[in-house]
Amino acid sequence: MKLSKIKELLQAEVLWGDEFLDTEVLSACGADLMSDILADTKVSAVLLTGLTHRQIIQTAVMGDFVAVTFVRGKIPPKDVIELARQAKVPLLKTNLPLYETCGILYEAGLRQTHTKDVTSKPERAEEVESAQTMKLTYDILGNDFNNAGKAAEQAKMVLKQIGIDPSVIRRVSIAAYEAEMNIVIHAHKGQLIFAITPAYIELIAEDQGPGISDVQKALEEGYSTAPARIRELGFGAGMGLPNMKKFTDIFEIDSVIGKGTKVRMVINL
């Protein structure tokens, strides 16, 4: 289905990106929680959401969505529209509610098209060593929502430039973005470190912060210690660590109360 058809069905207005109306859309995702959006495995999908802050654009980029449609008549600020322009993500607006927009598109034939099961763990030795290792390091500041997501986005661009498989890039991007947001939300500061080899990509997220009192509890879907102001932004749904584990082949976490947390992830190529 063309994006122009979606515009017609939803009686939507184009906020930016008229030149992308011929884009082919294969599916849709409707959600107002960031982790739910990132966990979605549909390909060439349009994102339907009521969230309008700048992180929705970062999330759409990490999830490889081809467009964003704001529901309930929501209009994002000018800086969000400009960010979408820079990322080449077309934006639409409809006055219809989220439930109705999903129903209209489903009834019109826009059904689920998923990527392969990301929970399957391929058999491959992680310890394959190579001299051809590229390292990327990004510093992350706690509570810096203006820059949150930029490290994951920059790493994604590098992976594209060196020709990494798109399905792998998506998994790395989602894990990195969730890790980065965890640092921004919960820690004082931290780092994202990528080690890219011909056999795998290792991602380490290490922060200086309060630490996690019960790691096993934190790994449960839906468990969250995020304050209300974070939840209002669409974060803090308790899916950060579960998503990081879901999209990686090896997941290790170590946390010390009063010191911080270190998460190590490996995605096989």
pLDDT score recorded for residue 67: 97
Q: What is the pLDDT of residues 59-115, one digit of tens each?
A: 898 888 999 999 999 999 999 999 999 999 999 999 999 999 999 999 999 876 655
CATH superfamily of 134-268: Histidine kinase-like ATPase, C-terminal domain (3.30.565.10)
Among candidates 116, 88, 123, which has minimal Cα distance to 3?
88
Fold of 3-107: 3.40.1390
Among candidates 114, 134, 136, which has minimal Cα distance to 180?
136
Instruction: Kindly give the residue spans of alpha helices, DSSP state H, lying in the chain.
Output: 3-9, 34-39, 55-62, 78-87, 98-107, 150-161, 166-186, 215-218, 228-231, 240-246
8 Å CB contact between 160 and 250: no
pLDDT score recorded for residue 234: 79
pLDDT score recorded for residue 112: 66
What Cα–Cα distance (Å) separates residue 66 from each residue in 14, 21, 32, 48, 216? 14, 10, 17, 11, 35
Model pTM?
Answer: 0.67
Give CA torsion, residues 95, 149, 225, 238, to 10 deg. Answer: 70
**Measured distance CA(88)–CA(150) in Å, rounded:** 15
Residuewise pLDDT in 10s, the chain (269 residues): 999 999 999 999 999 999 999 999 999 999 988 878 887 878 889 999 999 988 899 889 888 899 999 999 999 999 999 999 999 999 999 999 999 999 999 999 987 665 545 544 444 444 444 447 899 999 999 999 888 889 999 999 899 888 899 999 999 999 999 999 999 999 999 999 999 998 999 999 999 999 999 999 999 988 888 878 887 777 777 788 999 999 999 999 999 999 999 999 999 99
Where in the chain are the domains? Answer: 3-107, 134-268
